[in-house]
Structure formats: C-alpha cells, structure tokens
A = this chain, B = another copy of it.
Amino acid sequence: MQARQTLADIQHLLTTVLKAPARWQGLAPFADTDGDLAAQVLDEAAKFVDSAIAPLQRSGDEEGCRFDAGRVHTPAGFRDAYQAFWQAGWPSLSCAPDDGGQGLPAVLECVLFEWLAGANHGWTMAPGLLHGAYECIKHHASDELKAQYLEKVATGEWLATMCLTEAHAGSDLGMVRTRGVPQPDGSARVNGSKIFISGGEHDLTDNIVHLVLARLPDAPAGPKGLSLFLVPKVLPDASRNAVVCERIEEKMGLHGSPTCVMRFDDATGWLVGEPNKGLNAMFVMMNAARLHVGLQGIGLLEAAWQKASAYAAERRQMRAPGAKDTSLIQDHPAIRRILHTQRAWIDGGRVLAYHTALQLDVAKHSADAGERAAAQRWCALVTPVLKAALTDQAFHGASACLQVFGGHGYVREWGIEQIVRDARVAMIYEGTNEIQAIDLLVRKVLADGGQGLATLLTTLPGAAPSAAASARRHALVEITQTLAIAAQSDPELPYWVADDYLRAVALVLLEWAWAQIGAARPHRAEQSTAATDRWTTPTQAFAQWVLPEFDLRTAILRQRIAQAFEFRPQEAVSA
C-alpha cells in the first residue's frame, strides 16, 4: 500500500468533511495544533510508511520470524525499521509532552496506524499495543514504576505486550491461572504460561515490558480476582528476568509478527493498579485498542483495493458490454462493482473511525461534562461496531479484491493473498467479532433498555437525515425496544441475533458517514469530473450494493424476535 496515494482523500475527510482541526482545537491540549501542522505530520508519516515500512511487506511474510532456543529473530530489516520508527518519534505522537510525547490528537495517530497496517500488518503488530501499555502504566502504575518505564514505553524505546490469554482461557479471561505472589521488597513472583503473546520475544528493542494478568494468592475466582503485573524482560539491574519464550506459533498469516508462548518462572514483577482490579486497568485502553483494530481493517482493505485497482487498470480480458475490443478488466461491471463496494466501505469507515478518534479526545479533554458523556457514549457504542464490521470487511473485501486477479490472485507473486491471510486474524483478536456483537447488544444497548443507542441515533451530527435514513434509524430503535422486551422471556435471543444487530447498526452509521461526505462534496460545476466522481461513485455503490443489507438484517431480527414471542406467549405478555 502506498500511504501517499490516500493522503488527499484523508485530508479531505478530516478537514472538509469532519472539520477535525476546529474540533480538536476546541480542546485545551490541542489548541495550538492547527490544520497545517496536522497536514505536515501526516505528510511526513506517509513518507515514512512508504519508504521504511511498506517495502518489508512481502519479505516479512516470506521470511517470517525464526525461533531459536528461546530467541526470536524478526525478518531482515524489521529491527532497523523499528529503530528508525521510534527514534523519529512516531510511537509517541499522541502521548503527553510531559511523558516524552508530542501531545497531538489521537486521530493523527489513528491515521498513522491505519497506514502502517495497510503497508505491513505483521511489522505493525510490534508497536500496536504500545500506546495502550503507555496509558495503562500512566494511569495505574506506582510512581516508582512510572519513573522506570513510562517514558521508555511512551517513546517506544522499549516495546510492550499484553499477556492475557492462557491455553484454557481465551475469550474467558476469568479462567486465568497465572499467579503473582507479593514479596517483602514490594515486587511479586509471577508464575504461569501465556499464549498468543504478540511480540512476547523479539530482537527489535533491548527490553520488552510485559503487562501480565495474574491472580494474587487468595484472590476470588473469576474475572474479579485478576490483577495486573508489570514484568520486564530485562530487570532494572540489567539482569535477565525469568521470562521465557517457549515457541512461536505457525500461523495462517501475519508471519512478520512473532506470536509467542511465554512462560513466567518465578519472574519478578510489580503490581500495576489495585489488587483484583487488573481488568479495569486493562479495559481503560480497550476502546482505543479496538478502534485501532478497526483501523487495521481499513488499512488492509485499502491495501487490497490499491492492488486490485492497479491490476484492473492494466489487465485486458474479454470484451466489456458494448466494447468492440478486448477491454481492461476495470471496464467490466463485475470488477467495477467489487472495487466500488470496497471504496464505499473504506471511505465511510474512515469517517466513522476518525470521528470516533476525535470523540476519544473529547471524552478525555472537553471542559463540558455533557459533551464528555456524549463522547463517551459514542465511543462505547460505536467502537465494537467498527472493530467487527471493518475487520469483517477487510477479510471479505480483500478476498473480493483477490477475485479481481483471477488465478493470479491465488499465487504469492501479486501479494493480494497475503493481505487476505493477514487480515483474517483481525476478526479474532482484541475480542472476536462475535464477542464485539454481544458487547454491543447485551452489555451496552440492552443494559439501558436501548436508551443510549436511541439518543446516539437521534443526535447524530450534521444536517437532518433523508426520509429513508430517518426511517432506518427509527426501525432500529423500534427493533431494539421489541428485542429488549422479548429478551426478558427468551434470554438466548440477543445472543442469537447479536451479529445481525451489529451489522444493522454499522449500516446506519455508514449511511450517516456517507451523508457527511455528500454534504461536503464539491458541486459538479465547481470541480473536475474526476474529483466529483471520486466521491459520487462510491456513494452510489454504497446505496446500491451495501446498504440493502440493512433490510436483510432487520428482517432476520424481526423474524427471530417474533419467534421469541410465539414460543413463550405468557411470559412475553407479562413483560
């Protein structure tokens, strides 16, 4: 993927559509960050991504990571690229200046990570959890720990991991068995095994800071007995801690990122935050982390789209309808439909993701409590939708782009099959997409009887919606209310239809996003046809090929809700 190829689009979305600079400049920490400065930062970021990271995409996949007696060797060039990355200050873009960061709005970091994932998903896993670890240490660690680790993690001089999953405890962290036993000196002895630890061991940095979920002695069972420990690879006295990488996984893709099995053998660690409140300390960064995974989806889909549209502009096969001679395949309707549909997702997805990133900063920094609460509501409700819908589209859309290549798509040479393989993981990690859907519907929407979602839908910013859009929003609110009633008598119901519900929400949000793009679109008279078509074609594709799924999802929801009432008439009536 070439980041530069997306720069004008993204500037248009940020500046003209979302008016992002004005919005972040209303927040105290970013008052001085004007649009020009942001544009310069993005310009430099695009150059860095294109020159230092993108060129390692294919070699990173083919060479992969190598495990050798506890050591992990990343593919050639990965360490140099990472060293250049942190020394140029990229990891600390949105960290506080006091911590060694540059204090820029989160949305700029989001664009950077969208590009990085599109350019080289495997490499990008290394710094992917860094900002979350930074927030976690900043808000929960003791002053002594902060003095040792905060700046190193903020700047990215040291990389960080999240050690959550165990072999028997994947989606269900309540089953975690790793133990941390406090020592007289204030440290703790950590023992246990963790799996699926991205970057658990590598040669990119001199130290690695592990944030490990474990149980204190006598902690209650389940998720409320989990504490968080900071366990460095190299201890402050420069000796090696008892943290061992046992092996790395062979995976479908993402070969540039070592997925490690880690063993903690009486390793030295320190408690972060309060005892038994480990999940709280990790969940503080969950919205940001899930948004980042959604952005990976956008980056990967853009990468797939760039490859497919370049191929379609060069390859000739068959005559398109009405053509006299063999046509470029970009002139065949089946190919155009695939390409336009992906643009509908990418562009609309960008508006939603960038708007959400702005809301993350509003939730933190606005002087107005009502504004903070509204932003918090947006982030809580929209983040799982973006995580699931955008990673789903990354995989399925990249597969559609692979189809553009015909048989050539299936061979390594063109690089499109790598994107499909790499993208698949984003539907799983940071909470599977099924869990995102349950998080949205059960834990968030139904938890307040649908009030929060109804408020969000009726206060979407921008001009009044079209009659059709308004009808869809109302349908969603009405379905939510019926679902809430039916779920009282059929507790399984929301778990059966959570995916449909999430998709319906995603489509209504995308419709809003495209309305924002439409409102900011230059009139045909004022602009070249190419500039107008750039946004008109995917608008039409969205209406024609993407949005109709809304009626499918609501039909499935209504049918299953009706069934819940039908099977339990007594309870439903009493509810």
Contact = CB atoms under 8 A, between A and B. Distances in A.
Most buried by B among A321, A332, A409: A321
A425 B437 CA distance: 30
A317 B171 contact: yes
A169 to B, nearest CB: 8
A403 B432 contact: yes
A330 to B, nearest CB: 13
A326 B175 contact: yes
Interface stretch (A42-50, A117-125, A147-155, A246-254): A246-254
Given A172-B326, A337-B496, A434-B403, A556 B548 contact: yes
Interface string A405-420: 0111111110001001
A492 interface: yes
A407 B429 contact: yes
Interface in A557-575: 559-560, 563
Given A172-B318, A491-B321, A395 B406 contact: no
A165 interface: yes
Contacts of A549: 552
Nearest to A253: B410
B252 A334 contact: no
A498 interface: yes
A411 B250 contact: yes
A114 to B, nearest CB: 22
A430 B420 CA distance: 21
A556 to B, nearest CB: 5
Given A171-B318, A172-B326, A410 B434 contact: no
B548 A555 contact: yes
A259 B411 CA distance: 9
Contacts of A254: 410
Contact of A438 (B171, B334, B337, B420): B334
A215 interface: no
A333 interface: yes
Interface string A498-526: 11000000000000000000000000000
A265 interface: no
Contacts of A317: 169-172, 175
B250 A406 contact: no
**What is the copy number of this chain in the assembly?**
2
A437 B332 CA distance: 13
Given A334-B438, A402-B424, A552 B548 contact: yes
A365 interface: no
A310 B550 CA distance: 33
A322 interface: yes
Contacts of A551: 551-552, 555
B396 A410 contact: no
A459 B544 CA distance: 33
Interface in A120-175: 165, 168-172, 175
A393 interface: no
A556 B545 contact: yes
A168 B425 CA distance: 34
Contacts of A403: 427-428, 432-434
A406 B430 CA distance: 11
B251 A410 contact: yes
B406 A424 contact: no
Nearest to A563: B544
B544 A560 contact: yes
A492 B251 contact: no
A349 to B, nearest CB: 20
Given A250-B412, A544-B556, 8 more contacts: A170-B408, A175-B317, A252-B410, A334-B437, A337-B496, A407-B429, A409-B428, A548-B555
In the A-B complex, the 8 residue pairs with the smallest Cβ-Cβ separation, listed nearest first, are: A252-B417, A333-B495, A250-B412, A552-B552, A172-B317, A334-B434, A333-B496, A249-B411
14 contacts: A172-B318, A249-B412, A250-B411, A252-B421, A254-B410, A334-B438, A334-B496, A399-B424, A403-B427, A409-B428, A410-B424, A420-B424, A548-B556, A551-B552
Interface of A: 165, 168-172, 175, 195-196, 249-254, 259, 316-318, 320-322, 326, 332-335, 337, 395-396, 399, 402-403, 406-413, 417, 420-421, 424-425, 427-429, 432-434, 437-438, 491-492, 495-496, 498-499, 544-545, 548-549, 551-552, 555-556, 559-560, 563
